[in-house]
């Protein structure tokens, strides 16, 4: 897979932010809401012909945020969570080599987490766009996305980045420990300086 140039990466995000949202909405039977969402975003054609390359992050954000306007909060978050899990499944099936997965699964969880986060950080442009991504290791992992493009302009009274949390959780459950839980503790949509995700398996 050829990596895009810095110019191509800037302000862009991987297409799975949209592709798997479409799949999740279809799986949950939310086709009416999906049609309304993509129509309002002027991207109705994406339902039948999803993007296959990097897309402007603000277009993905328009869909992720707009979903909260066409569905009740619980159903919108259920769709975003499923889209995140489907994204993790896609990465496991298509982007992370099987030998690497085998090695990660037999490593002690703290070491597997260290190796996995190094790989995630190297490919952060696919899910964080040009935002700043960082992480810290300790009693688990803390992942941080500064200026998270998928919640830009969103104002919420609780952490709202369900999709990102589900992606992290899906990858960690498959490769580090099936007991892993991902919890967003701070969020740009709440006025915080970054979206902060705690990954714990003990």
pLDDT of residue 126: 78
Mean residue pLDDT across the chain? 93
Express each pLDDT in 158-175 by its tens digit: 999 999 999 999 999 999
Long-range residue pairs from 130-138, CB within 8 A, at least 24 positions apart, any chain: 130/9, 130/10, 130/11, 130/12, 130/57, 132/194, 137/110, 137/113
pLDDT at 188: 96
Q: Could you tell me the pLDDT band of residue 189, with boundaries at 50, 70 and 90?
A: very high
The side-by-side arrangement of strands in the sheet containing 132-138 is 132-138, 140-146, 194-200, 181-186
**What per-residue confidence (pLDDT) applies to 123?**
87
Inform me whether the pLDDT recorded for 75 exceeds 70.
yes
What domains are defined for the chain? 6-200 (3.90.1520.10)
pLDDT higher than threshold 60 for residue 7: no
Which residue in the block uniquely carries the two structure tokens 């306007």? 69
Geometric angle at alpha carbon 90, from 69 and 166, rounded to 5°: 50
């Amino acid at each position: 897979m050829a990596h895009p140039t810095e110019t191509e990466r800037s302000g862009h995000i991987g297409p799975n932010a949209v592709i798997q949202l479409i799949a999740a909405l279809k799986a949950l039977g939310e086709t009416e809401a999906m049609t309304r969402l993509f129509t309002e975003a002027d991207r109705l054609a994406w339902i039948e012909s999803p993007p296959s390359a990097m897309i402007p992050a603000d277009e993905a954000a328009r869909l992720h945020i707009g979903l909260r306007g066409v569905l009740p909060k619980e159903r919108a978050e259920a769709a975003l969570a499923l889209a995140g899990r489907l994204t993790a499944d896609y990465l496991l099936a298509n982007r992370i080599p099987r030998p690497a997965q085998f090695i990660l699964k037999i490593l002690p969880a703290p070491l597997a987490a260290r190796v996995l986060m190094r790989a995630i950080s190297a490919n952060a442009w696919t899910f964080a766009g040009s935002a700043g991504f960082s992480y810290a290791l300790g009693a688990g992992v803390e992942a941080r996305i500064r200026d998270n493009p998928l919640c830009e302009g969103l104002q919420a009274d609780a952490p709202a980045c369900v999709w990102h949390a589900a992606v992290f959780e899906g990858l960690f459950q498959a490769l580090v420990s099936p007991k892993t839980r991902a919890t967003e503790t701070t969020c740009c949509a709440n006025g915080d300086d970054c979206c902060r995700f705690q990954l714990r398996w003990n």
